Amino acid sequence: MANYQRLALAISALVKFVVGVAVVALLLLWPAGTIHYVGGWRLMAVLFVPVLIMGVMMLIFSPALLERRLKSKEQRAEQSVLIRLSGLMFVVGFVVAGLDFRFGWSVVPQCVTVIAMVVFVLSYLLFAEVARENEWLSRVVEVAEGQQVVTTGLYGIVRHPMYLATVLMFIAMPLVLGSWWALLPFGLYIPVIVSRTLDEERLLRKELAGYDDYCSKVRWRIIPFVW
């Protein structure tokens, strides 16, 4: 990748990062009615610090992967609907957590919050390992030119280890925020990701050579011994 292309990619990634931080801060702190919402700042720390680190690493060592990760426009209609639903869950979940803090609807024990933070960080490490193993990893459901089936590492255990990482993040997120009530909107991510996985596999079976054989060898989609 040429230097000017890498610079343009860095600027694009930085803009999206700053906008993301601003939007999440607004969605959390405004409903909370204060900037002293510790759970909100705690989540932003475990959410955005790893994102920044991974973004820099990808820019240096794998700019093509970073470019694919920044791509967000789905071509498949069903996937576009699911992406919108996921975004809506984020908004509702953050607002509920902020209101929960503001009005004291629930109290999450500190030990549970700490465990959730550990799970969240481990989920990022899991995602980083997936990114290392799969150079075709993308935010959108598609088959890239020259793409091959990845069968090693985590992909030898489950077919969609990235989705496993995101499920763990969504479960941990409301607990990091200190809200039991926020588990309700964030929990809706599970049926959404199930639908996304099934639709993605229909595409991969149709367009990615060798994916049928891979599915026959690796039985579990996301959670070993469960599904």
| CB 130 within 8 Å of CB 162 | yes
Q: Closest Cα partner for 90 from 147, 38, 47, 53?
A: 47
CA dist 54 and 50 (Å) reads 6
For residues 8 and 103, what is the distance between their CA atoms, to the nearest angstrom? 44
pLDDT of the residue at 103:
96
pLDDT along the chain (227 residues), means of 10: 74 88 95 95 92 84 74 65 82 96 95 95 89 74 76 90 91 95 93 88 87 91 90
- Choices 1.20.120.1630, 3.40.50.720, 1.10.10.10, 3.40.50.300: CATH for 3-217: 1.20.120.1630
